[in-house]
Chains A and B, each alone.
Chain A
Amino acid sequence: MSISYRRFRDSDETALESLLKNTFPSFRGSNQWSWKYRQNPKFDESLLVIAERDGKLIGSNYWLLRDLKLSSAVTVRAALAADIAVYPDCRGQGIGTELIRFPRQSGAFKERGILMSYMFGRPELNESLYRPAAGYIIAPNSTITYRRHFNCQELREKFQEINHAINSNGALRDKLKEVVMCISFKLRGAPEFTVHIEPENVYLEEGKLEESEMFIEGSLPLSFLIFGGEISSAYLFRSWITGKIKIRKGFHRIFKLRKAFILFQAALREKRQH
Protein backbone atom coordinates (compact mmCIF):
# COMPACT_ATOMS: atom_id res chain seq x y z
CA MET A 1 0.00 0.00 0.00
CA SER A 2 2.13 2.87 -1.22
CA ILE A 3 1.38 6.49 -0.55
CA SER A 4 1.43 8.88 -3.48
CA TYR A 5 1.48 12.66 -3.60
CA ARG A 6 0.00 14.94 -6.20
CA ARG A 7 -1.66 18.29 -6.71
CA PHE A 8 -5.32 18.87 -5.91
CA ARG A 9 -8.09 18.01 -8.37
CA ASP A 10 -11.67 19.27 -8.25
CA SER A 11 -12.89 15.74 -7.55
CA ASP A 12 -10.94 15.81 -4.22
CA GLU A 13 -13.07 18.57 -2.78
CA THR A 14 -15.52 16.50 -0.69
CA ALA A 15 -12.85 14.19 0.73
CA LEU A 16 -10.54 17.12 1.47
CA GLU A 17 -13.22 19.12 3.24
CA SER A 18 -14.00 16.07 5.32
CA LEU A 19 -10.31 15.65 6.28
CA LEU A 20 -10.06 19.33 7.26
CA LYS A 21 -13.23 19.17 9.34
CA ASN A 22 -11.88 16.06 11.03
CA THR A 23 -8.56 17.74 11.80
CA PHE A 24 -9.34 21.40 12.52
CA PRO A 25 -12.28 22.54 14.66
CA SER A 26 -12.36 25.88 12.81
CA PHE A 27 -13.58 24.10 9.67
CA ARG A 28 -16.62 22.66 11.41
CA GLY A 29 -19.93 24.43 11.02
CA SER A 30 -18.60 27.32 8.97
CA ASN A 31 -17.73 28.09 5.40
CA GLN A 32 -14.03 28.21 6.29
CA TRP A 33 -13.19 25.82 3.43
CA SER A 34 -14.90 27.93 0.82
CA TRP A 35 -13.36 31.16 2.10
CA LYS A 36 -9.84 29.92 2.67
CA TYR A 37 -9.48 27.88 -0.49
CA ARG A 38 -11.95 28.69 -3.24
CA GLN A 39 -12.53 32.38 -2.50
CA ASN A 40 -8.87 33.14 -1.93
CA PRO A 41 -7.95 35.38 -4.88
CA LYS A 42 -4.58 33.65 -5.07
CA PHE A 43 -5.89 30.11 -4.74
CA ASP A 44 -3.64 27.90 -6.82
CA GLU A 45 -4.50 24.23 -7.20
CA SER A 46 -0.90 23.26 -7.76
CA LEU A 47 -0.04 24.58 -4.29
CA LEU A 48 -2.57 22.31 -2.65
CA VAL A 49 -0.89 18.94 -2.13
CA ILE A 50 -2.81 15.72 -1.65
CA ALA A 51 -1.53 12.48 -0.13
CA GLU A 52 -3.44 9.35 -1.07
CA ARG A 53 -3.26 5.66 -0.39
CA ASP A 54 -5.15 3.19 -2.56
CA GLY A 55 -7.08 6.05 -4.09
CA LYS A 56 -8.19 7.36 -0.68
CA LEU A 57 -7.26 10.87 0.37
CA ILE A 58 -5.36 10.63 3.66
CA GLY A 59 -3.51 13.94 3.94
CA SER A 60 -3.16 17.44 2.54
CA ASN A 61 -1.16 20.61 2.80
CA TYR A 62 -2.19 23.98 1.45
CA TRP A 63 0.22 26.77 0.54
CA LEU A 64 -1.12 30.29 0.38
CA LEU A 65 0.66 32.32 -2.21
CA ARG A 66 1.38 35.86 -1.01
CA ASP A 67 3.82 38.72 -0.87
CA LEU A 68 5.78 38.93 2.35
CA LYS A 69 7.46 42.04 3.63
CA LEU A 70 11.05 41.52 4.78
CA SER A 71 11.98 45.14 5.38
CA SER A 72 10.81 48.59 4.40
CA ALA A 73 12.37 48.09 0.98
CA VAL A 74 12.13 44.35 0.36
CA THR A 75 9.00 42.37 -0.37
CA VAL A 76 9.32 38.83 -1.69
CA ARG A 77 6.95 36.25 -3.03
CA ALA A 78 6.30 33.65 -0.35
CA ALA A 79 4.11 30.68 0.48
CA LEU A 80 2.44 30.26 3.85
CA ALA A 81 1.96 26.64 4.84
CA ALA A 82 -1.48 26.13 6.23
CA ASP A 83 -3.59 23.18 7.27
CA ILE A 84 -1.10 20.31 7.25
CA ALA A 85 -3.59 17.53 7.86
CA VAL A 86 -3.19 13.76 8.06
CA TYR A 87 -5.79 11.30 9.35
CA PRO A 88 -4.80 10.07 12.84
CA ASP A 89 -4.42 6.41 11.76
CA CYS A 90 -1.95 7.45 9.03
CA ARG A 91 0.33 9.59 11.19
CA GLY A 92 3.91 8.70 12.04
CA GLN A 93 4.69 7.48 8.51
CA GLY A 94 6.47 10.55 7.20
CA ILE A 95 3.44 11.85 5.30
CA GLY A 96 3.74 15.34 6.81
CA THR A 97 7.38 15.52 5.70
CA GLU A 98 6.51 14.56 2.14
CA LEU A 99 3.60 17.02 2.04
CA ILE A 100 6.00 19.79 3.00
CA ARG A 101 8.60 18.70 0.45
CA PHE A 102 6.32 18.02 -2.50
CA PRO A 103 5.92 21.54 -3.97
CA ARG A 104 9.66 22.08 -3.60
CA GLN A 105 10.55 18.86 -5.39
CA SER A 106 7.83 19.16 -8.02
CA GLY A 107 9.02 22.61 -9.00
CA ALA A 108 5.66 24.25 -8.16
CA PHE A 109 7.36 26.85 -5.96
CA LYS A 110 10.07 27.58 -8.49
CA GLU A 111 7.60 28.06 -11.33
CA ARG A 112 5.82 30.73 -9.30
CA GLY A 113 8.97 32.57 -8.28
CA ILE A 114 8.46 31.79 -4.59
CA LEU A 115 11.62 32.62 -2.65
CA MET A 116 10.54 31.68 0.86
CA SER A 117 8.00 29.62 2.70
CA TYR A 118 6.85 30.16 6.26
CA MET A 119 4.39 28.81 8.74
CA PHE A 120 3.03 29.22 12.23
CA GLY A 121 3.80 25.93 13.86
CA ARG A 122 4.45 24.10 17.08
CA PRO A 123 7.98 24.48 18.49
CA GLU A 124 8.09 20.84 19.59
CA LEU A 125 7.72 19.79 15.93
CA ASN A 126 10.69 21.81 14.70
CA GLU A 127 13.36 19.19 15.23
CA SER A 128 11.22 16.21 14.28
CA LEU A 129 9.34 17.64 11.29
CA TYR A 130 9.91 21.19 10.05
CA ARG A 131 13.71 21.27 10.08
CA PRO A 132 14.36 17.81 8.60
CA ALA A 133 11.61 18.26 6.01
CA ALA A 134 12.72 21.59 4.58
CA GLY A 135 15.30 23.28 6.80
CA TYR A 136 12.89 25.54 8.66
CA ILE A 137 14.34 27.81 11.31
CA ILE A 138 12.49 29.71 14.01
CA ALA A 139 12.44 33.37 13.04
CA PRO A 140 12.81 36.08 15.65
CA ASN A 141 9.30 37.27 16.28
CA SER A 142 8.42 40.73 17.53
CA THR A 143 4.73 39.98 17.77
CA ILE A 144 2.99 39.77 21.09
CA THR A 145 -0.47 38.42 21.74
CA TYR A 146 -2.91 40.03 24.15
CA ARG A 147 -5.88 38.04 25.39
CA ARG A 148 -8.85 38.70 27.56
CA HIS A 149 -11.21 35.90 28.46
CA PHE A 150 -14.82 36.56 29.33
CA ASN A 151 -15.34 33.09 30.73
CA CYS A 152 -13.42 29.87 31.32
CA GLN A 153 -15.10 27.84 28.62
CA GLU A 154 -11.92 26.95 26.72
CA LEU A 155 -10.13 26.00 29.91
CA ARG A 156 -13.11 23.99 31.09
CA GLU A 157 -13.00 22.00 27.84
CA LYS A 158 -9.28 21.45 28.28
CA PHE A 159 -9.86 20.01 31.73
CA GLN A 160 -12.60 17.77 30.35
CA GLU A 161 -10.01 16.39 27.93
CA ILE A 162 -7.56 15.89 30.79
CA ASN A 163 -10.21 14.15 32.84
CA HIS A 164 -11.09 11.84 29.97
CA ALA A 165 -7.43 10.99 29.32
CA ILE A 166 -6.80 10.26 33.01
CA ASN A 167 -9.85 8.07 33.35
CA SER A 168 -8.95 6.00 30.32
CA ASN A 169 -5.47 5.22 31.66
CA GLY A 170 -5.08 3.17 34.84
CA ALA A 171 -1.59 4.48 35.69
CA LEU A 172 -2.66 8.10 35.43
CA ARG A 173 -5.83 7.39 37.42
CA ASP A 174 -3.74 5.99 40.27
CA LYS A 175 -1.54 9.08 40.29
CA LEU A 176 -4.58 11.33 40.48
CA LYS A 177 -5.32 10.01 43.97
CA GLU A 178 -1.96 11.38 45.15
CA VAL A 179 -2.72 14.96 44.17
CA VAL A 180 -6.25 15.44 45.43
CA MET A 181 -6.87 19.10 46.28
CA CYS A 182 -8.67 22.23 45.24
CA ILE A 183 -6.83 25.20 43.68
CA SER A 184 -8.29 28.63 43.00
CA PHE A 185 -6.75 30.94 40.40
CA LYS A 186 -7.02 34.64 39.77
CA LEU A 187 -5.08 35.33 36.60
CA ARG A 188 -4.80 38.45 34.52
CA GLY A 189 -7.28 38.73 31.67
CA ALA A 190 -9.62 36.01 32.92
CA PRO A 191 -12.35 35.44 35.50
CA GLU A 192 -11.47 33.64 38.71
CA PHE A 193 -11.73 29.86 38.56
CA THR A 194 -11.15 26.81 40.69
CA VAL A 195 -9.68 23.47 39.66
CA HIS A 196 -11.06 20.54 41.63
CA ILE A 197 -8.85 17.48 41.72
CA GLU A 198 -10.82 14.61 43.18
CA PRO A 199 -9.78 10.95 43.47
CA GLU A 200 -11.53 10.02 40.23
CA ASN A 201 -12.33 13.30 38.64
CA VAL A 202 -10.76 16.60 37.58
CA TYR A 203 -12.95 19.53 36.69
CA LEU A 204 -13.02 23.28 36.57
CA GLU A 205 -15.51 25.61 38.11
CA GLU A 206 -15.74 29.32 37.51
CA GLY A 207 -15.27 31.51 40.59
CA LYS A 208 -13.03 31.42 43.62
CA LEU A 209 -13.71 28.94 46.39
CA GLU A 210 -12.88 30.08 49.91
CA GLU A 211 -12.19 26.50 51.02
CA SER A 212 -9.54 25.99 48.33
CA GLU A 213 -6.28 24.60 49.67
CA MET A 214 -4.28 26.83 47.34
CA PHE A 215 -4.91 30.26 45.88
CA ILE A 216 -2.73 31.49 43.03
CA GLU A 217 -2.85 35.03 41.74
CA GLY A 218 -0.86 36.82 39.09
CA SER A 219 -0.31 38.21 35.64
CA LEU A 220 0.14 34.86 33.99
CA PRO A 221 -2.02 34.57 30.87
CA LEU A 222 -4.74 31.98 31.05
CA SER A 223 -3.52 30.86 27.65
CA PHE A 224 -0.56 29.10 29.25
CA LEU A 225 -3.06 26.60 30.53
CA ILE A 226 -5.03 26.37 27.30
CA PHE A 227 -3.05 26.82 24.16
CA GLY A 228 -0.32 24.65 22.76
CA GLY A 229 -1.50 21.84 25.01
CA GLU A 230 1.17 22.64 27.55
CA ILE A 231 0.57 22.76 31.25
CA SER A 232 4.19 23.00 32.18
CA SER A 233 5.21 22.81 35.79
CA ALA A 234 8.57 24.35 34.83
CA TYR A 235 6.77 27.36 33.39
CA LEU A 236 4.69 27.65 36.52
CA PHE A 237 7.77 27.58 38.73
CA ARG A 238 9.61 30.08 36.56
CA SER A 239 6.62 32.39 36.76
CA TRP A 240 6.60 32.09 40.52
CA ILE A 241 10.32 32.83 40.82
CA THR A 242 10.06 35.86 38.53
CA GLY A 243 7.08 37.18 40.45
CA LYS A 244 4.55 36.71 37.66
CA ILE A 245 2.43 34.69 40.03
CA LYS A 246 2.00 34.77 43.76
CA ILE A 247 0.89 31.87 45.90
CA ARG A 248 -1.49 33.53 48.35
CA LYS A 249 -2.55 30.39 50.18
CA GLY A 250 -1.20 26.85 50.62
CA PHE A 251 2.43 27.56 49.75
CA HIS A 252 3.48 24.31 51.43
CA ARG A 253 1.50 22.38 48.83
CA ILE A 254 3.65 23.64 45.99
CA PHE A 255 5.26 20.25 45.33
CA LYS A 256 1.87 18.62 45.23
CA LEU A 257 0.81 21.27 42.74
CA ARG A 258 3.85 20.53 40.62
CA LYS A 259 2.98 16.83 40.69
CA ALA A 260 -0.57 17.63 39.61
CA PHE A 261 0.68 19.70 36.67
CA ILE A 262 3.03 16.95 35.58
CA LEU A 263 0.08 14.59 35.64
CA PHE A 264 -2.05 16.98 33.56
CA GLN A 265 0.77 17.31 31.08
CA ALA A 266 1.05 13.52 30.79
CA ALA A 267 -2.70 13.29 30.24
CA LEU A 268 -2.57 15.85 27.43
CA ARG A 269 0.37 14.05 25.86
CA GLU A 270 -1.55 10.81 26.06
CA LYS A 271 -4.54 12.43 24.40
CA ARG A 272 -2.41 13.85 21.59
CA GLN A 273 -0.86 10.45 20.89
CA HIS A 274 -4.29 8.96 20.44
Chain B
Amino acid sequence: MNECYDLNRDFPGMTSKRGIISLADKTSGYTTRTYAPGDETSLVSLFNGVYSNLAGFVPRTTEYWLWSCLKRPDVDEKGILILEKGNTIEGYAVVGKSGNVWELCYAKSSDAKTIVSELLAWTVDYARGVGSDSVVLNAFINDPLVCEVCQEMDFAESPSEPVFLSVLDLPQLMYEILQAKNSELGVDGLFWFNLKECPTWCTNSFGVRAEKNRVTLLKEAEFVPKIVVETNMATLVALMFGRENFLRDVLTARVRITPFSKLFQARKLFSLLQNKTGWFTPRADMA
Protein backbone atom coordinates (compact mmCIF):
# COMPACT_ATOMS: atom_id res chain seq x y z
CA MET B 1 0.00 0.00 0.00
CA ASN B 2 2.94 2.23 0.66
CA GLU B 3 3.41 3.20 -2.96
CA CYS B 4 2.62 5.73 -5.61
CA TYR B 5 -0.36 4.80 -7.69
CA ASP B 6 -1.57 5.20 -11.21
CA LEU B 7 -4.80 7.11 -11.72
CA ASN B 8 -5.63 5.28 -14.90
CA ARG B 9 -5.11 1.95 -13.22
CA ASP B 10 -6.78 2.74 -9.92
CA PHE B 11 -9.55 5.03 -11.12
CA PRO B 12 -10.48 4.11 -14.67
CA GLY B 13 -12.33 6.87 -16.44
CA MET B 14 -10.57 9.63 -14.59
CA THR B 15 -9.95 12.52 -16.92
CA SER B 16 -6.69 13.70 -15.43
CA LYS B 17 -3.66 13.46 -17.65
CA ARG B 18 -1.33 13.70 -14.73
CA GLY B 19 -0.91 9.96 -14.59
CA ILE B 20 1.15 8.73 -11.72
CA ILE B 21 0.62 10.99 -8.78
CA SER B 22 3.78 12.60 -7.62
CA LEU B 23 4.75 16.20 -7.36
CA ALA B 24 5.55 17.58 -10.76
CA ASP B 25 8.91 18.87 -9.69
CA LYS B 26 10.50 15.95 -8.01
CA THR B 27 13.33 18.23 -7.06
CA SER B 28 11.17 19.46 -4.20
CA GLY B 29 11.73 16.13 -2.53
CA TYR B 30 8.08 15.38 -1.92
CA THR B 31 6.52 12.03 -2.60
CA THR B 32 2.88 11.03 -2.44
CA ARG B 33 1.20 7.80 -1.62
CA THR B 34 -2.07 6.54 -0.25
CA TYR B 35 -2.75 5.59 3.35
CA ALA B 36 -1.06 2.58 4.89
CA PRO B 37 -2.02 1.06 8.24
CA GLY B 38 0.06 2.68 10.94
CA ASP B 39 -0.01 6.16 9.36
CA GLU B 40 -2.79 7.28 11.66
CA THR B 41 -0.43 8.15 14.51
CA SER B 42 1.50 10.63 12.37
CA LEU B 43 -1.67 12.02 10.78
CA VAL B 44 -3.27 12.63 14.16
CA SER B 45 -0.13 14.31 15.40
CA LEU B 46 0.05 16.57 12.34
CA PHE B 47 -3.62 17.50 12.62
CA ASN B 48 -3.46 18.36 16.33
CA GLY B 49 -0.30 20.40 15.80
CA VAL B 50 -1.57 22.37 12.81
CA TYR B 51 -4.91 23.28 14.37
CA SER B 52 -3.70 23.69 17.95
CA ASN B 53 -4.63 27.38 18.07
CA LEU B 54 -8.17 26.94 16.79
CA ALA B 55 -11.42 25.82 18.42
CA GLY B 56 -14.57 24.07 17.30
CA PHE B 57 -13.18 20.67 16.41
CA VAL B 58 -12.58 17.35 18.09
CA PRO B 59 -8.94 16.95 19.11
CA ARG B 60 -7.79 13.88 17.23
CA THR B 61 -7.03 10.56 18.84
CA THR B 62 -6.14 7.53 16.78
CA GLU B 63 -9.45 5.92 17.70
CA TYR B 64 -11.45 8.99 16.65
CA TRP B 65 -9.52 9.46 13.41
CA LEU B 66 -9.98 5.85 12.37
CA TRP B 67 -13.72 6.12 12.96
CA SER B 68 -14.33 9.60 11.55
CA CYS B 69 -12.13 9.17 8.49
CA LEU B 70 -10.97 5.70 7.54
CA LYS B 71 -14.05 3.72 8.58
CA ARG B 72 -16.49 6.22 7.11
CA PRO B 73 -18.74 4.42 4.60
CA ASP B 74 -17.63 6.48 1.61
CA VAL B 75 -13.89 6.39 2.39
CA ASP B 76 -11.35 3.74 1.55
CA GLU B 77 -7.58 3.72 1.75
CA LYS B 78 -7.29 4.96 -1.84
CA GLY B 79 -9.16 8.10 -0.80
CA ILE B 80 -6.47 9.17 1.64
CA LEU B 81 -3.49 10.87 0.03
CA ILE B 82 -0.35 11.40 2.05
CA LEU B 83 2.39 13.77 1.03
CA GLU B 84 5.82 13.16 2.51
CA LYS B 85 9.24 14.70 2.52
CA GLY B 86 11.75 12.10 3.53
CA ASN B 87 9.97 10.16 6.20
CA THR B 88 7.95 13.09 7.48
CA ILE B 89 4.31 13.52 6.55
CA GLU B 90 3.85 17.12 5.39
CA GLY B 91 0.20 16.97 4.43
CA TYR B 92 -2.75 14.70 3.75
CA ALA B 93 -6.29 14.74 2.48
CA VAL B 94 -9.16 12.36 3.21
CA VAL B 95 -11.74 12.35 0.44
CA GLY B 96 -14.94 10.37 0.28
CA LYS B 97 -16.71 9.00 -2.75
CA SER B 98 -19.41 11.55 -1.97
CA GLY B 99 -16.90 14.27 -2.87
CA ASN B 100 -16.57 15.45 0.72
CA VAL B 101 -13.04 16.34 1.75
CA TRP B 102 -13.40 15.10 5.32
CA GLU B 103 -9.97 16.35 6.36
CA LEU B 104 -7.23 18.33 4.70
CA CYS B 105 -4.17 19.22 6.67
CA TYR B 106 -0.73 20.53 5.77
CA ALA B 107 2.38 21.56 7.64
CA LYS B 108 3.16 25.25 7.52
CA SER B 109 6.36 25.49 5.54
CA SER B 110 7.84 27.46 2.70
CA ASP B 111 6.47 24.83 0.31
CA ALA B 112 3.00 24.93 1.80
CA LYS B 113 1.38 26.24 -1.36
CA THR B 114 2.82 23.37 -3.36
CA ILE B 115 1.49 20.91 -0.79
CA VAL B 116 -2.01 22.43 -0.77
CA SER B 117 -2.10 22.64 -4.58
CA GLU B 118 -1.09 19.02 -4.90
CA LEU B 119 -3.57 17.80 -2.30
CA LEU B 120 -6.44 19.77 -3.81
CA ALA B 121 -5.63 18.79 -7.38
CA TRP B 122 -5.62 15.20 -6.27
CA THR B 123 -8.93 15.50 -4.41
CA VAL B 124 -10.56 16.93 -7.55
CA ASP B 125 -9.15 14.11 -9.66
CA TYR B 126 -10.17 11.49 -7.15
CA ALA B 127 -13.71 12.79 -6.68
CA ARG B 128 -14.23 13.09 -10.41
CA GLY B 129 -12.75 9.64 -10.95
CA VAL B 130 -15.10 7.94 -8.51
CA GLY B 131 -18.12 9.60 -10.08
CA SER B 132 -18.87 12.28 -7.53
CA ASP B 133 -20.90 15.31 -8.62
CA SER B 134 -18.78 17.79 -6.67
CA VAL B 135 -15.92 18.38 -4.25
CA VAL B 136 -16.68 20.09 -0.94
CA LEU B 137 -14.04 21.29 1.47
CA ASN B 138 -14.14 23.14 4.80
CA ALA B 139 -11.26 25.47 5.64
CA PHE B 140 -10.41 28.02 8.26
CA ILE B 141 -11.57 31.39 7.01
CA ASN B 142 -8.18 33.00 7.69
CA ASP B 143 -6.18 30.43 5.79
CA PRO B 144 -5.06 32.55 2.83
CA LEU B 145 -3.23 29.67 1.23
CA VAL B 146 -6.24 27.39 0.88
CA CYS B 147 -8.27 30.39 -0.26
CA GLU B 148 -5.69 31.25 -2.93
CA VAL B 149 -5.38 27.71 -4.23
CA CYS B 150 -9.17 27.23 -4.24
CA GLN B 151 -9.55 30.43 -6.27
CA GLU B 152 -6.96 29.23 -8.75
CA MET B 153 -8.75 25.90 -9.04
CA ASP B 154 -12.15 27.49 -9.67
CA PHE B 155 -13.75 26.60 -6.35
CA ALA B 156 -16.63 28.77 -5.21
CA GLU B 157 -16.80 29.82 -1.60
CA SER B 158 -19.86 29.94 0.58
CA PRO B 159 -20.54 30.23 4.30
CA SER B 160 -20.31 26.98 6.19
CA GLU B 161 -23.26 25.37 7.95
CA PRO B 162 -24.06 27.45 11.07
CA VAL B 163 -23.12 26.07 14.48
CA PHE B 164 -25.60 26.22 17.36
CA LEU B 165 -24.31 25.99 20.92
CA SER B 166 -26.04 25.26 24.18
CA VAL B 167 -24.39 25.17 27.60
CA LEU B 168 -25.41 22.44 30.03
CA ASP B 169 -23.26 23.14 33.04
CA LEU B 170 -22.43 26.83 33.08
CA PRO B 171 -20.55 27.03 36.40
CA GLN B 172 -18.27 24.16 35.46
CA LEU B 173 -17.70 25.56 31.98
CA MET B 174 -16.78 28.96 33.43
CA TYR B 175 -14.44 27.25 35.83
CA GLU B 176 -12.70 25.32 33.03
CA ILE B 177 -12.23 28.48 30.95
CA LEU B 178 -10.97 30.61 33.83
CA GLN B 179 -8.77 27.86 35.21
CA ALA B 180 -7.02 27.58 31.84
CA LYS B 181 -6.25 31.28 32.04
CA ASN B 182 -5.16 31.29 35.65
CA SER B 183 -1.80 32.77 34.80
CA GLU B 184 -3.42 35.81 33.22
CA LEU B 185 -6.41 36.13 35.51
CA GLY B 186 -5.56 39.61 36.80
CA VAL B 187 -8.97 39.85 38.36
CA ASP B 188 -9.68 39.53 42.01
CA GLY B 189 -13.20 39.25 43.32
CA LEU B 190 -16.15 37.30 44.53
CA PHE B 191 -18.76 37.15 41.79
CA TRP B 192 -22.27 35.89 42.26
CA PHE B 193 -24.34 35.03 39.18
CA ASN B 194 -28.13 35.20 39.26
CA LEU B 195 -29.54 33.88 36.02
CA LYS B 196 -33.07 34.42 34.81
CA GLU B 197 -34.86 32.38 32.16
CA CYS B 198 -32.71 29.44 33.04
CA PRO B 199 -33.84 25.97 31.93
CA THR B 200 -34.70 23.59 34.74
CA TRP B 201 -31.61 21.47 34.14
CA CYS B 202 -29.23 24.39 34.67
CA THR B 203 -27.97 25.98 37.86
CA ASN B 204 -29.37 29.49 38.03
CA SER B 205 -27.38 30.76 40.96
CA PHE B 206 -23.70 30.20 41.66
CA GLY B 207 -20.54 31.96 42.68
CA VAL B 208 -17.05 32.31 41.27
CA ARG B 209 -14.14 33.37 43.39
CA ALA B 210 -11.27 34.67 41.28
CA GLU B 211 -7.99 35.23 43.01
CA LYS B 212 -4.47 35.52 41.77
CA ASN B 213 -3.80 32.35 39.76
CA ARG B 214 -6.74 30.56 41.34
CA VAL B 215 -10.42 30.09 40.57
CA THR B 216 -12.98 28.46 42.84
CA LEU B 217 -16.62 27.62 42.22
CA LEU B 218 -18.89 28.39 45.13
CA LYS B 219 -22.36 27.42 46.22
CA GLU B 220 -24.85 29.68 47.91
CA ALA B 221 -24.30 30.89 51.46
CA GLU B 222 -20.63 30.08 51.41
CA PHE B 223 -19.64 33.73 51.19
CA VAL B 224 -20.92 37.27 50.91
CA PRO B 225 -20.65 38.23 47.25
CA LYS B 226 -18.90 41.46 46.44
CA ILE B 227 -20.07 41.68 42.85
CA VAL B 228 -23.48 40.43 41.74
CA VAL B 229 -24.10 39.75 38.06
CA GLU B 230 -27.73 39.47 37.01
CA THR B 231 -28.63 38.48 33.50
CA ASN B 232 -30.38 35.72 31.62
CA MET B 233 -28.86 32.47 30.51
CA ALA B 234 -29.01 33.22 26.78
CA THR B 235 -27.26 36.58 27.18
CA LEU B 236 -24.50 35.05 29.28
CA VAL B 237 -23.88 32.24 26.79
CA ALA B 238 -23.94 34.74 23.93
CA LEU B 239 -21.39 36.89 25.80
CA MET B 240 -19.11 33.90 26.12
CA PHE B 241 -19.51 32.46 22.63
CA GLY B 242 -21.48 34.85 20.51
CA ARG B 243 -21.11 38.38 19.36
CA GLU B 244 -22.66 40.10 22.36
CA ASN B 245 -20.86 43.11 23.74
CA PHE B 246 -20.58 43.34 27.51
CA LEU B 247 -20.78 47.11 27.83
CA ARG B 248 -23.70 47.34 25.42
CA ASP B 249 -25.52 44.70 27.43
CA VAL B 250 -24.88 46.65 30.62
CA LEU B 251 -26.15 49.86 29.02
CA THR B 252 -29.30 48.14 27.77
CA ALA B 253 -29.84 46.51 31.19
CA ARG B 254 -29.48 43.01 29.82
CA VAL B 255 -26.65 42.57 32.30
CA ARG B 256 -26.86 44.22 35.70
CA ILE B 257 -23.75 44.63 37.87
CA THR B 258 -24.16 45.44 41.57
CA PRO B 259 -22.51 47.57 42.83
CA PHE B 260 -22.11 49.47 39.59
CA SER B 261 -18.72 50.73 40.73
CA LYS B 262 -17.39 47.19 40.12
CA LEU B 263 -18.29 47.37 36.42
CA PHE B 264 -14.73 47.26 35.19
CA GLN B 265 -13.83 44.34 37.39
CA ALA B 266 -16.80 42.46 35.96
CA ARG B 267 -15.79 43.52 32.48
CA LYS B 268 -12.38 42.01 33.03
CA LEU B 269 -13.98 38.73 34.10
CA PHE B 270 -16.21 38.66 31.03
CA SER B 271 -13.26 39.43 28.83
CA LEU B 272 -11.54 36.33 30.19
CA LEU B 273 -14.68 34.26 29.68
CA GLN B 274 -15.15 35.36 26.09
CA ASN B 275 -14.07 32.83 23.52
CA LYS B 276 -11.88 34.64 21.01
CA THR B 277 -10.46 31.57 19.33
CA GLY B 278 -11.37 31.01 15.69
CA TRP B 279 -14.02 28.33 15.31
CA PHE B 280 -13.13 25.79 12.64
CA THR B 281 -14.97 22.56 11.91
CA PRO B 282 -13.53 20.02 9.47
CA ARG B 283 -16.22 18.11 7.62
CA ALA B 284 -15.23 14.92 9.45
CA ASP B 285 -16.50 16.46 12.69
CA MET B 286 -19.92 17.28 11.30
CA ALA B 287 -20.82 13.57 11.55
Contacts and interface: CB of A to CB of B under 8 A. Distances in A.
Interface string A24-49: 00000011100110011100000000
A71 B53 CA distance: 7
Contacts, number: 232
Interface in B115-168: 124, 127-128, 132-142, 146-147, 150, 153-168
B57 A118 contact: no
Nearest to A36: B287
B75 to A, nearest CB: 10
A53 interface: no
Given A120-B286, A123-B162, A140-B279, A66 B58 contact: yes
Contact of A141 (B53, B156, B160): B160
Interface string A150-165: 1101100000000000
B179 to A, nearest CB: 8
Interface stretch (A166-174, A192-200, A221-229, A250-258): A221-229
A234 interface: no
B155 to A, nearest CB: 4
A139 B242 contact: yes
Contacts of B154: 148, 188-189
Interface residues of B, number: 75
B142 A142 contact: yes
B252 interface: no
A189 B135 CA distance: 10
Contacts of B136: 145-147
Interface residues of A, number: 69
B220 interface: no
A134 B234 CA distance: 10
Interface in A106-143: 109-110, 114-121, 123, 126, 130-131, 134-143
Contacts of A145: 136-139, 157-161
B58 A223 contact: no
A142 B146 contact: no
Contacts of A36: 287
A179 interface: no
Interface stretch (A1-9, A73-81, A87-95): A73-81
A105 B281 CA distance: 28
B109 interface: no
B64 interface: yes
Contact of A71 (B142, B156, B157, B275): B275
Nearest to A116: B167
B73 A30 contact: yes
A143 B133 contact: no
A149 B281 CA distance: 21
B165 A118 contact: yes
A162 to B, nearest CB: 18
A127 to B, nearest CB: 12
Interface in A206-223: 219-223
Contacts of B241: 137, 139-140
B159 to A, nearest CB: 7
Interface stretch (B18-26, B29-37, B170-178): B170-178
A76 B177 CA distance: 9
Interface of B: 52-59, 63-64, 67, 71-74, 124, 127-128, 132-142, 146-147, 150, 153-169, 172-173, 176-177, 180-181, 199-201, 233-234, 237-238, 241-243, 275-281, 285-287
9 contacts: A69-B55, A80-B285, A80-B287, A104-B201, A134-B199, A140-B279, A143-B140, A146-B136, A150-B134
Interface of A: 30-32, 35-36, 39-41, 64, 66-76, 80, 82, 104-105, 109-110, 114-121, 123, 126, 130-131, 134-151, 153-154, 187-190, 219-224, 227
Leading 8 A-B pairs by shortest Cβ distance: A189-B156, A221-B156, A73-B180, A142-B278, A143-B160, A146-B155, A136-B164, A188-B156
